[in-house]
Amino acid sequence: MQRTLIADALAATAPQRDMTLCGWIRTRRDAKDFSFVEVNDGSCLANMQCIVDAGTPAHEALGDASTGAAICVKGELVPSPGKGQQWEVRAAAITVFGKADPETYPLQKKRHSDEFLRTIAHLRSRTNKYGAAFRIRSEAARAVHDFFHSRRFAWVHTPILTGSDCEGAGEMFRVTTLPGAPNPAEDFFGRSCNLTVSGQLEAEALALGLGRVYTFGPTFRAENSNTPRHAAEFWMIEPEMAFADLEDIMELGESLTRHVVEHCLSQCEADIHLFDAYVDKGLVERLQGMLRQPFARCTYHEAIQILQDSGRNFTFPVAFGVDLQTEHERYLAEEHFQRPVIVYNYPREIKAFYMRANDDGETVAAMDVLVPRIGELIGGSQREERLDRLNARLLELGQNAGDYWWYLDLRRFGTAPHAGFGLGFERLLMMLTGITNIRDVIPFPRTPGSLEF
Ligand code: 4AD
Ligand code: MG
């Protein structure tokens, strides 16, 4: 079907005779001599206003099609005398593909609550807000790929089905083809199988051959944490670099974040302004502010000191050795530094076995990027590349080194300093849109008790 996208039609520099637009009716107003039909096709936030003269075949064909109907309009693109738009279409012919019964079509009103729209996730991309959110999601993904390709990273595809149940990043979903509580030895793979919580271990293997790699794909965590920042299925970006240290990935994480913000501010202007106007006043200013100055940096030690000196009564008390909770992370980024902050050198006890031990014997070369309103956006580290240290750490944690044979091989054969991180893509989108619930930045969210679509 030959058609012009509304985004392109609205950018026209001259009138055009024969134009075909397809989309869904957002609103229809009938006057005596004509009908105004606002059509949206998802290519941009704006609608195209179509004028259908009464008594014409086009008007006849339009019939009683109303909000929600899918139609095709052929006609002339002409300057609009009305306010609010530069162009409009004078319809010469109309096809109605599918009507939407006004009695039952759920998107009649102009505004609906986010909670209601979650119950109709299959329709919500037809609203301004969710159309905008998912267009920004697409542009942000493009920016991520552009960023890594410009730095010569290879995009690698790590497995979603994993035999390792010991990545330590969270509770896993079990995958089986057998009923009941099966014996893994009799199952499809002859061993237990889970959905991946992170592609990191495989990305490390690939980085130690390709040099610089990144993953960008879905990850799964079965934590029963019903928070606005956790989803059971979310997308993660995990770069991994050979011949790199903690400093290198701090720089990488900050540059990546800034690049995506910059790209979306310039490429999704109308969509981001919608969020600034209706969802999070001050969003654009905050994003621009992020670009004006470098991210703050402080060690975990300093962060604890700042929190203790804050005089705040946190729900989770602060002491050296505790893991930072969202309330602490947000205090640091939102109130103390008032911008993103990179906290590094965490105590080894609260971090994963693969993080590189610092010489102080107490901390590891880990870093988290914390951002206002969200908390943790990025978590990463330099990896322990010394075989003896890694073995000792596994032993200390009571882990079976045999389960990690291939991971340890990477330290046996040509080991090299390397480092990487994971960035939660939905958290990044929350930052870019001001949306406060992760369920609203992913089209079909998976959270405890919720798997309708
Ligand atoms: O800090 P996490 O657990 O780190 C890892 O998985 C490492 N293996 C990453 C690496 O070094 N390659 O997760 C990384 C990021 C978090 O900072 C957060 O942004 C996001 O993933 N994240 C979640 N996002 C949505 N829902 C969840 N349940 C999430 N858990 C983590
Ligand atoms: Mg983390």
Q: 409 is written with which tokens?
A: 């091989």
188-218 exposure pattern, b = at least 16 Cβ within 10 A, e = fewer: eeeebbbbbbbbbbbbbbbbbeebbbbbbbe
For the cut 90, the answer to whether the pLDDT of residue 272 exceeds it is yes
Closest Cα to atom 11 of ligand 1: 421
Q: Which of 137, 226, 236 to mutate to test the pocket of ligand 1 (most atoms within 8 A of CB)?
A: 236
Dist. CA 421 → ligand 2 center (Å): 9
Please report whether residue 453 resides in a domain: no
Taking a C-beta distance cutoff of 8 angstroms, is the pair 286, 267 a contact? no
Please report whether residue 114 resides in a domain: no
Same domain as 203, residue 141: yes
226: confidence class by pLDDT, cuts 50, 70, 90: confident
Dist. CA 444 → ligand 1 center (Å): 19
Taking a C-beta distance cutoff of 8 angstroms, is the pair 384, 358 a contact? no
Q: Return the SS3 of 232.
A: coil
Chain mean pLDDT for the chain = 96
Nearest ligand by distance to the CA of 370 = 1
Residue 13: CATH number of its domain: 2.40.50.140
pLDDT tens digits, residue range 335-388? 999 999 999 999 999 999 999 999 999 999 999 999 999 999 999 999 999 999
Dist. CA 358 → ligand 2 center (Å): 19
Of ligand 1's listed atoms, the one at least distance from the Cα of 376 is 17
Same domain as 406, residue 299: yes
pLDDT tens digits, residue range 410-425? 999 999 999 999 999 9
Print the domain residue range for 167: 124-440
Q: Return the SS3 of 226.
A: coil
Same domain as 135, residue 282: yes
d(CA 143, CA 158): 21
Q: 422 is written with which tokens?
A: 């994971």
Q: 410 is written with which tokens?
A: 């990477």
pTM for the whole thing? 0.97
- Give the pocket of ligand 1 (CB within 6 Å): 169, 198, 200, 221, 230-231, 234, 236, 238, 376-380, 420-422, 424, 426-427, 438
Phi, psi of 282 (to 5 degrees): 100, 0
For the cut 80, the answer to whether the pLDDT of residue 58 exceeds it is yes
d(CA 254, CA 251): 5
Of ligand 1's listed atoms, the one at least distance from the Cα of 438 is 25
CA 100 to chain centre: 31
Nearest ligand by distance to the CA of 442 = 1
Residue 380: CATH number of its domain: 3.30.930.10
Find the helix or strand (DSSP H, E) in which 363 lies.
strand 363-371
Of ligand 1's listed atoms, the one at least distance from the Cα of 225 is 28
Closest Cα to atom 26 of ligand 1: 230
Residue 131's pLDDT is what?
98
Dist. CA 422 → ligand 1 center (Å): 6
Same domain as 128, residue 101: no
Of 168-182, 256-270, 301-315, 342-356, least confident by mean pLDDT is 168-182
Segment 31-37 shows an average pLDDT of 97
Closest Cα to atom 5 of ligand 1: 422
Which amino acid, one-letter code, is at 377? L
Same domain as 140, residue 89: no
Nearest ligand by distance to the CA of 236 = 1
Strands 193-195 and 375-382, bridge-based pairing: unpaired
128-160 exposure pattern, b = at least 16 Cβ within 10 A, e = fewer: bbbbbbbbbbebbbebbeebbeeeebeebebee
Please report whether residue 119 resides in a domain: no
Same domain as 170, residue 73: no
Please report whether residue 78 resides in a domain: yes
Residue 169's pLDDT is what?
63
Please report whether residue 452 resides in a domain: no
Please report whether residue 116 resides in a domain: no
Which runs of E-coded beta strand occur in 5-115? 16-30, 34-40, 48-53, 70-79, 87-98
Q: 450 is written with which tokens?
A: 């919720």
Of ligand 1's listed atoms, the one at least distance from the Cα of 381 is 11
Domains: count for the chain: 2
68: region left, alpha or beta (phi > 0 left; psi from -120 to 50 alpha): left
Which runs of E-coded beta strand occur in 187-303? 193-195, 212-220, 233-242, 296-299
d(CA 147, CA 140): 10
